């Protein structure tokens, strides 16, 4: 957990996804890792969760500050 200059809690993390999907008649395993950030109350909630636990997240994608990568901004999450 860190705090912005305005004193708002912020939590940087990495989300990992793995699932299987049917594509062209074959089962395909899809894996993805993405940088994520939560602010305020959501950051405080997320900091209390066990690493590796499973959740569904809602939010939006934006460019990172340097513009060379994507960051998922977490706005809400629920346990699966």
Q: What is the pLDDT of residue 23?
A: 94
State whether CATH 2.40.50.140 applies to domain 2-79: yes
Average pLDDT over residues 42-46: 97
pTM value is 0.86
Mean pLDDT, the chain, rounded, equals 95
How is the chain split into domains, by residue range?
Answer: 2-79
Q: Where on the phi/psi map is residue 41: left (φ > 0), alpha (ψ -120 to 50), or beta? A: alpha
Phi and psi torsions of 52, nearest 5°:
90, -5
- Rounded distance, CA 31 to CA 46, Å? 22
Asked if residue 35 has pLDDT above 90, the reply is yes
- Rounded distance, CA 72 to CA 55, Å? 14
Per-residue pLDDT of 4-25, as tens digits, reads 999 999 999 999 999 999 999 9
Tokens in use for 9?
Answer: 């809690």
């Amino acid at each position: 957990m860190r705090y912005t200059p305005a004193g708002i809690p912020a939590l940087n993390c990495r989300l990992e996804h793995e699932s299987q999907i049917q594509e062209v008649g074959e089962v395909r395993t899809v894996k993805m890792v993405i940088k994520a950030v939560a602010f305020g109350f959501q950051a405080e909630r997320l900091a209390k969760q066990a690493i590796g636990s499973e959740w569904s997240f809602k939010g939006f994608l934006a460019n990172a500050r340097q513009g060379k990568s994507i960051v998922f901004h977490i706005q809400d999450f629920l346990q699966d």
